[in-house]
Amino acid sequence: MRNMLLAFLMSCSLLSAFAQQKSTVDISAETRMGYHHDEVDGKKNDSSTGIKGDYLNLKINGTIDEHFSYSWRQRFNKKISDSHYFDATDWIYITYAANQNWSLSAGKQVVLIGGYEYDAAPIDVFMASEYWQNIPCYQFGGSVTYATNSGNDKFTAQLCESPFRTDENNDLLAYNLFWTGNHGPWSTLWSANMIAYAPGKYISYIALGNKITTGNLCLELDLMNRATDHQAFLFRDCSVIGKLMWQCTPQLELYTKASYDVNRTHHGGDLCVMPGTELTSLGGGVEYCPIKNNKHTVRLHACASYTTGTNSNPSGTLVDKYFYLNAGVTWKFHILSWGK
Query: Which pLDDT does position 13 carry in this prediction?
Result: 57
Q: Pick from 266, 77, 272: which is nearest to 193 by CA?
A: 272
pLDDT higher than threshold 70 for residue 7: no
What's the rounded Cα separation, in Å, for the pair 238 and 251? 35
Return the sign of the alpha-carbon dihedral for residues 121, 246, 33, 297. Answer: positive
pLDDT confidence tier of residue 167, bands split at 50, 70 and 90 = confident
Share of the chain above pLDDT 90, in %: 82
Q: Per-residue pLDDT averaged across 224-234, rounded?
A: 81
Query: Which pLDDT does position 70 carry in this prediction?
Result: 97
Q: HEC states along 90-154?
A: EEEEEEEECCCCEEEEEEEEECCCCCHHHHCCHHHCCCCCHHHHHCCCEEEEEEEEEECCCCCEE
Q: Per-residue pLDDT averaged across 25-47, rounded?
A: 96
The residues spanned by each domain of the chain are 2-8+25-338
Q: Identify any residues that bridge with 178 across adjacent strands, giving them in sequence order.
A: 156, 191
Q: How long, in residues, is the chain?
A: 340
> What is the Cβ-side half-sphere exposure of residue 255, based on CA atoms within 13 angstroms?
23
User: Do 181 and 156 contact (CB within 8 A), yes or no?
Assistant: no
What are the Cα distances from residue 65, in Å, to 22, 24, 59, 99, 166?
8, 8, 19, 13, 37
0.85 exceeded by the pTM? yes
pLDDT in tens, 14-34: 555 545 556 899 999 999 999
User: Do 30 and 123 contact (CB within 8 A), yes or no?
Assistant: yes
Lowest mean pLDDT: which of 81-85, 121-125, 157-161? 81-85
Q: Which residues contact 165 (CB under 8 A, 6 or more apart)?
A: 171, 172, 196
pLDDT in tens, 260-293: 999 999 888 999 999 999 999 999 999 999 998 8
pLDDT higher than threshold 60 for residue 81: yes
What's the rounded Cα separation, in Å, for the pair 236 and 276? 11
Lowest mean pLDDT: which of 26-35, 163-172, 289-298? 289-298
Query: Which pLDDT does position 264 carry in this prediction?
Result: 93
Query: Which pLDDT does position 197 carry in this prediction?
Result: 95
Map residue 289 onto helix, strand or coil. coil
pLDDT confidence tier of residue 121, bands split at 50, 70 and 90 = very high
What's the rounded Cα separation, in Å, for the pair 124 and 151? 26
Query: Which pLDDT does position 267 carry in this prediction?
Result: 83
Question: Across all residues in the chain, what is the average pLDDT?
Answer: 92
Rounded to 5 degrees, what angle do the CA atoms 37, 41, 46 make?
A: 35
Query: Which pLDDT does position 2 carry in this prediction?
Result: 54
pLDDT confidence tier of residue 82, bands split at 50, 70 and 90 = low
Query: Which pLDDT does position 6 carry in this prediction?
Result: 53
Q: Per-residue pLDDT averaged across 248-271, rounded?
A: 94
What's the rounded Cα separation, in Å, for the pair 221 and 209? 6
Map residue 22 onto helix, strand or coil. coil
What's the rounded Cα separation, in Å, for the pair 271 and 202? 11
Map residue 172 onto helix, strand or coil. coil
Q: Per-residue pLDDT averaged across 63-87, rounded?
A: 87
pLDDT higher than threshold 60 for residue 5: no
Map residue 211 onto helix, strand or coil. strand
Domain 2-8+25-338 has CATH 1.10.1660.10: no
Map residue 165 onto helix, strand or coil. coil
